[in-house]
Structure 1
Amino acid sequence: MTFRTRRAASLATAALLASGVFTGLSAPAHAAGTETDLAITAAGTRLTSGVEGKVAWAKIANQGEGTPGKVFLKVDISKVDDSKLVLEPYQEGGCPATADAKPKLHVCELDADEIPGPGETIEVPILLLNQAKGLTEPYSAPVTISVESPDDTDDSNNSVDINVELTPESGVDLGVYVPDVKTRVDFETGDEGPLRPGDTSVVVGLVFNQGDLAVKGVKWTYRLPEGVTFTFDDEVCTYSADRRTAVCEDKALVIETGDVLLHGLPVAVDDGVEAPVTLKEGWLEAEAFGSLPAGARVSQQATRPLSDRAEVRAVEDTEYADIDPSDNKDDFAVIVAADAGGGGGGGGGLPVTGVQAGLIGAIGAGVLLAGVAMFLVARRRRVVVVAPGDEKPDA
């Protein structure tokens, strides 16, 4: 095994944490049967030559009403020049490549606990490793990503043709990752379990910078599925009247190359939701306000999240060009299990006492590892954690 391959393997193994860290927290509300409709998309396949690499994503969505028994992801890299760019898809079940001197096809078989249930999406990380030194012209190559299952009833959406691109441009490169919400969190006791109607949980978003310039100021926006609302205010966010949209801004925050902004917000499932059900069409989107030149000195305060003790500095409120905007938005679902008969757990009327500790506990070491895993392809390995300071229950 070459040094490059060992390095790729170690990076990819850690990146698995980012895609699978939440899978064991609770049992999803899977429908009976195996017939279903799987669809494949990809994001984050353009990177600057100023970084060692980045994490792209193959997203497998289950658009049917059953959970398939077997799922295979295939990544055809036969047209990629590996002296410029190396692609390595990884997940827990392994992704063996053809045994040729130059691998042409990776095949990943998803483990049973990674297979998406109805309405869910599983995201398989694809490592893009920069091999080109002194690149002066953009390099791109076609890649075909496909998903196969004997239980799939519609193969029209099982394959996607994309271009992977290595560009000499410098810039910020925001990416977003948000897992499906599946777990009940009691903010008083810290107890966890299947999420049911009336329960509280946490939606956790990761906003990371995989560009070669630091982000200066960032806005990230959550939209919850119908039947789910935000329960407590965060001082950096403003909320819609229906409590389903939160627009969060920190115009002074600097996210350096290789850093990830980790943010969790408490949410509640409505008492009237009929379960079991997958509540879809949640999403998180991020955008940068600006950038700092490579090598610019950044104060320690500027890299700390905004709080009531920090001063917000004026930044032009305009969207900043991003190297690869395809991964600036990520969808998520809220998976609600059938009510066990005892009624909802948390609800929206939780006391403020214990919320801070409960939220941090819900984020947990697993999410911190997910954030770190995103950036094992970068030199720095620091995670910026944002959690509400003085939460206030909604009126």
Structure 2
Amino acid sequence: MIFRNRRAVSMAAAALLASGAFTALGAPAHAAGTETDLAVTTAGTRITSGVEGKLAWIKIANQGKGTPSQVDVLVDLSKVDASRLEIEPFTLGACGINGGPPPESFLCSLSDEEIPGPGETVEVPLIIGNLAKGATEPYSAPVTISIESEGDTDESNNSIEVDIELTPESGVDLGVFVPDVKTRFDFDTGEEGPLRSGDTALLFSATFNWGDVTARGVKLTFQLPKGATFAFPVELCAYSADKRTAVCDEKDLVLEPNMALFYDLPVVVDEGVDAPTALKGGSLKAEALGVLPAGARISAQAKKPASDRAEVRSIDDTEYADVDPSDNVDDFAVIVSAPSDGGGGGGGLPVTGVQAGLIGAVGVGVVLAGVAMFLVARRRRVVVVAPTDEKTND
């Protein structure tokens, strides 16, 4: 595995990528008049008062058999003390503000690229800005998040009330983001297109540290759904016998606050999978193996993966327990398209270089980082960890 440190993207670059990054992951085909069932949940809504902000997630899952033509998201902030918390959803579609200032609610429409197809889940960033940094008393406020879509057959799962919590507790706060796997990438030819039976793809993930304490060591546990396996091994990851579980142990990596760890692992869809289908049950769990004491000096070398610098404190120490474990796990599906007329993989245009397959996935991560930078109005540092630039020849 090859590791690189990359400078954080500028806000201008993030804005440019936002116009097309989600398109690169594949837009769903809309079936007019087809009934569907959307459900909304959230993750990552607890934040330490020692930081300036974090990304929470509004997760919209399509549990039906059709793809809606429009999805609107309403975020009601009328009960939030705007002098303590600034909250705003981010979509590639249009967003309107009701009331204010400060805003009492946001009404946002998902773009076509964001609308989930059958079996898919879209994760809408919910930016939480902390305007009461250093507060010594806990604060909590209810926020109601609702979704509307014509043809939704079950409205009982279309609204959720969640408490946005501001805590004076100090600690690591890992947050995981894993989009559904939908795009084929051929490591030999560089072609990409719809993912079909027997095809290879890249599983993209981002693990953020939204806490005010530095993590020393990160353990990532990837679980693939039935019908998919890891295509070939990458170093630092241990695999189960069935090649569906990978444990990647970055035991010496120093992950500071406001940094992110990106991992891209190659996967392959089993031959003979009936399609179209959504292979469900994939997940990523992130755990901090230890922490650095507050005020510890960190050399440039110690910030690189495989570093052995600095003292480790056990994450079991309650003083440094994860501030918000609700976003330490993220589920994903592998979306397999129906065979083409000629059968098999096929399709797609050739691209130059194996890294081209990462454009869509990494673009999403860049956009998320850019959103956080823009709305929290602070510079963020990013650590990128990517797989080998080329497939290893045995």
TM-score (norm 1): 0.85
Structure 1 partner of 2:248? 248
Query: Residues 52 and 39 (structure 1 numbering): CA distance in 2 closer, same or farther, change over 3 Å?
Result: same
Between 337-346 and 61-70, the greater mean CA deviation after superposition: 337-346
Amino acid corresponding to residue 224 of structure 1 in structure 2: L
Is 1:257–1:378's contact at 8 Å kept on the other side of the alignment? no
Query: RMSD across aligned C-alpha pairs, in angstroms?
Result: 3.0
**Corresponding residue to 1:366 among 344, 363, 368:** 363
Classify 1:178/1:246 alpha carbon distance in 2 versus 1 (closer, same or farther; 3 Å): same
Counterpart amino acid of 2:207? V
Q: Which residue of 2 aligns with 1:384?
A: 383
Paired amino acid for 1:369 = V
> Is the Cα contact below 8 Å between 1:218 and 1:253 reproduced in 2?
yes
Q: 1:385 deviation in Å? A: 2.1
Q: Please give the alpha-carbon distance, in whole angstroms, between the structure 2 residues aligned to 1:368 and 1:150.
A: 30
Contact 2:28 2:115 (C-alpha < 8 Å) held by counterparts:
no
The 8 Å contact of residues 31 and 117 in structure 1, kept in 2 or not, is answered as no
Quote how far apart the aligned CAs of 1:69 are: 2.0
TM-score by length of 2: 0.85
Q: Which residues of 2 match residues 230-241 of structure 1 at below 5 A?
A: 230-241=230-241
Are 1:116 and 2:82 matched, yes or no? Answer: no
Aligned amino acid, residue 293 of structure 1: P
Are residues 1:287 and 2:282 paired?
no
In the alignment, which residue of structure 2 is the partner of 1:166?
Answer: 166
Alignment of 1:143-292 (within 5 A): 143-292=143-292
Q: Partner of 2:345 in structure 1? A: 344
Contact kept? 1:63, 1:118, Cα under 8 Å:
yes
Name the structure 2 match of 1:325: 325
Structure 2 unpaired stretches of 5+: 1-9, 348-352
- The whole-number CA distance in structure 1 between the counterparts of 2:197 and 2:31 is 18
User: Offset of 1:391 from its aligned partner?
Assistant: 8.3
**Separation (CA, whole Å) in 2 of partners of 1:219 and 1:71:** 36
Q: Deviation per CA, 1:153-202, whole angstroms, max 9, x where unpaired?
A: 11111111110011122111100001111111111232211111111010
The DSSP-based 3-state class of the residue aligned with 2:156 is coil
Aligned length: 372
Judged with a 3 Å threshold, the aligned counterparts in structure 2 of structure 1 residues 206 and 73 are, in CA distance, closer, same or farther, namely same
User: Structure 1, residues 46-105: CA drift from partner, whole Å, max 9, x if none?
Assistant: 111111111111111111111112211111111000000011112111221213344222
Give 3-state SS (helix, strand or coil) of 1:156's partner.
helix
- Cα deviation, 1:339-378, whole Å, max 9, x if unaligned, reads 11242369xxxxxxxxxx62x3322352552463365247
The CA deviation at 1:17 is 6.5
Q: 1:30 to 1:273 in 2, by over 3 A?
A: farther
Amino acid at match of 1:386: V
Asked if 1 retains the 8 angstrom alpha-carbon contact of 2:27 and 2:113, the reply is: no
User: Contact 1:202–1:267 (CA<8 Å) still a contact in 2?
Assistant: yes
Q: SS at 1:216's partner residue?
A: strand
Comparing 218-227 and 311-320, the one that deviates more: 311-320
Which residue identity lines up with residue 86 of structure 2 in the other structure? Answer: V
Distance 1:284 1:18 in 2: 25
Q: Are residue 74 (structure 1) and residue 74 (structure 2) matched?
A: yes
Tell me whether 1:99 sits opposite 2:99 in the alignment.
yes
Contact 1:13/1:91 (<8 A) preserved: no
Contact 2:67/2:117 (<8 A) preserved: yes
| Partner secondary structure for residue 335 of structure 2 | strand
Kept in 2: contact 1:55–1:126 (CA 8 A): yes
* 1:296 Cα offset (Å): 2.3
Measured against aligned partners, the alpha-carbon deviations of 1:16-47 in whole angstroms (never above 9, x if no partner) come to 96898344333447777531111100111111
Q: Whole-Å Cα distance in 1 between the matches of residues 167 and 15 of structure 2?
A: 23
Aligned-pair distance for 1:238?
0.9
Name the SS for the 1:299 alignment partner. Answer: coil
Contact 1:251–1:315 (8 Å) recurs in 2 = no
2:207–2:262 CA contact under 8 A, matched in 1: yes
The separation in 1 between residues aligned to 2:187 and 2:135, in whole angstroms, is 51
Structure 1 CA distance, aligned partners of 2:240 and 2:67?
35
CA distances 1:131-161 after superposition (whole Å, capped 9, x unpaired): 1144110111111111111211111111111
C-alpha contact (below 8 Å) 1:66/1:118 kept by paired residues: yes
Checking the alignment, whether the CA contact within 8 Å between 1:186 and 1:201 is kept in structure 2 is yes
> For 1:59 and 1:66, how far apart are their aligned partners in 2?
18
Partner deviation per Cα, 1:216-255 (whole Å, 9 max, x = no partner): 1111111111111001112111111111111111110011
Secondary structure of the residue that 2:326 maps to in structure 1? Answer: helix
Contact 1:198/1:345, CA 8 A, preserved across alignment: no
Name the SS of the counterpart of 1:373 in structure 2. Answer: helix
Q: Percent of pairs identical after alignment? A: 61
Structure 1 residues 243, 31: CA separation in 2 closer, same or farther (over 3 Å shift)?
A: farther
Change in Cα spacing, 1:33 to 1:226, as seen in structure 2 (3 Å) is farther
